[in-house]
Amino acid sequence: MMQNFQESELADKLAFATKLEDISGGITIAAADFTDGAVVQAGSVVGKDNNGLYHVLKTAKLHTAAGNSATNYLVFKGHGFKVGDFVAALTGAKAYAITAIDTSNADYDTLTVATTLGVAVAQYGGVFQAAAEASTNTSAFKVTPFAVTGHAIKLKAGETNAVDAWLRATLFEANAPVATAQMKAALPQILWV
């Protein structure tokens, strides 16, 4: 297998103010969680499975506020969600599978779920990938937040998708992928400013 290093065409926004403690040797991202060729941005929250493989906790930033009865969520492009992924706005709330993703608008994608998440989400707020469907208030993160990626990486099936990862760092919130208050609380040594 070939090593997948950061490609020069991936222009990182300046996501980090400081990087203090990394995971020695970097991490390998599970490419199967995404469509082939998807880009994981610098500052993405990751968690690891029992085999030591890391999974991105997918998030999407809302382009337009969504009410507590919404089934369509207008989100900025670049989120990485696929049809069938479970999405939630809060842990300990509801989570449902994405049934459709409309990418026809140039400014945003529309994530559709069959049943509302039951939570209002403000403009520029976030939704995240949930572990499973939760029709009662039992939603949980798909992976437990552990670190953040240090650079953008374009994922390629069949290759080792390695990237640096940070346990202690400060991120510029405006340039990093959206993180909900609960995600931030789960990573007390990562600061978003």
Contact (CB, 8 A) for 179 and 141: no
Intra-chain end-to-end CA distance of the chain, in Å: 38
CB contact set of 187 (below 8 Å; sequence gap of 6+): 45, 145, 146, 147, 148, 179
pLDDT in tens, 50-60: 999 999 999 99
Range 6-44 burial, b when 16+ CB lie within 10 A, else e: beeeeeeeebbeebeebbeeebbbbbebbeeebebbbbb
**pTM given for the model:** 0.90
What pLDDT does 11 receive?
Answer: 54
